[in-house]
Amino acid sequence: MANAADLERWVAIDERLESMLDIDDDILSATLADSDAAGLPPIAVSPLQGRLLQSLARMIGARRILEVGTLGGYSTIWMARALPAGGRLVSLEIDAHHADVARRNIARAGLGDVVEVRVGPAAQGLAALEASGGEPFDMVFIDADKRSNPDYLTAAVRMTRPGGVIVVDNVVRRLDAGDASDPDAAGTVRVLELMGDHPGLTTTALQVVGRKGHDGLAIALVLPPA
């Protein structure tokens, strides 16, 4: 956990970076403001992290993106903006209220025809997507209930093309909690072990400090079949 003085410094640096890099815009800040007003928790990715997700998508020429955990659609909008014409993003969200807020935010961003928010447990959403036998995804962002991350990762690997990218949010927050009886901490340890062991992935994890405190991201590249 960060102490108050550390957090204050990290927030101030995030603000300076966001300002120097001109990261924010009105649609993104309205997305956060309306999510807040609708009572959603303030746990969306930071602006700088949103830009990272967007750039990763662009770097790999992503046309199809899958998100697990929509909340108010903030990370969704960042990633969907990376898509070329005809691209598509599917986001899975268990909470119907979150999904409603997200759909409004996504529509305001002009991405209503690009993004589909599906309500239900992500495990079911992933199974349905897989059963429908669509094209593989280029990028998957896993950011829902951390205890299920091993299952989400396993499904994501099957559903992502070689050369695609899988990003898992919040891998340090739960790791740092360190309590093996905490299912979310256990899910984090397990997902990182799975990523490290998987012959089809090459993975790194980065610690991040900033406006969300001390946390981290795991980023995996999906390799061609051996």
Tell whether residue 145 is a contact of ligand SAH (CB under 6 A): yes
Per-residue binding string, ligand DHB, 191-220, x by CB under 6 A, is: ---------------------x--------
C-alpha gyration radius of the chain: 17
Q: Of 31, 54, 91, 170, which lies in the binding site for ligand DHB, with binding defined by CB under 6 A?
A: 170
Q: Report the alpha-carbon distance of residue 59 to residue 79 in Å, rounded.
A: 12
**Residue closer to ligand SAH (CB basis): 77 or 200:** 77
Q: Of 115, 169, 174, 209, which lies in the binding site for ligand DHB, with binding defined by CB under 6 A?
A: 169
Cβ atoms of 35 and 71 closer than 8 Å:
yes
- CB of 35: closest distance to ligand SAH in angstroms? 8
Tell whether residue 143 is a contact of ligand DHB (CB under 6 A): yes
**Residue closer to ligand SAH (CB basis): 158 or 163:** 158
Q: How many residues belong to the chain?
A: 226
- CB of 207: closest distance to ligand SAH in angstroms? 18
Q: How far apart are the first and last CA of the chain?
A: 41
Tell whether residue 45 is a contact of ligand SAH (CB under 6 A): yes
Q: Of 169, 173, 188, 208, which lies in the binding site for Mg ion, with binding defined by CB under 5 A?
A: 169
Residue 156 CB neighbours (<10 A): 25
Tell whether residue 43 is a contact of ligand DHB (CB under 6 A): yes
Say if residue 100 is exposed, middle or buried (CB neighbours under 10 Å; 0-12, 13-18, 19+): middle
Say if residue 8 is exposed, middle or buried (CB neighbours under 10 Å; 0-12, 13-18, 19+): exposed
- CB of 180: closest distance to ligand SAH in angstroms? 21
Tokens (6 digits) for 132: 């429908």
Q: Of 66, 92, 209, 222, which lies in the binding site for ligand SAH, with binding defined by CB under 6 A?
A: 92
Q: Which residues bind ligand DHB (CB under 6 A)?
A: 43, 143, 169-170, 212
Q: Which residues bind ligand SAH (CB under 6 A)?
A: 43-45, 69-71, 74-75, 92-95, 98, 121-122, 143-145, 148
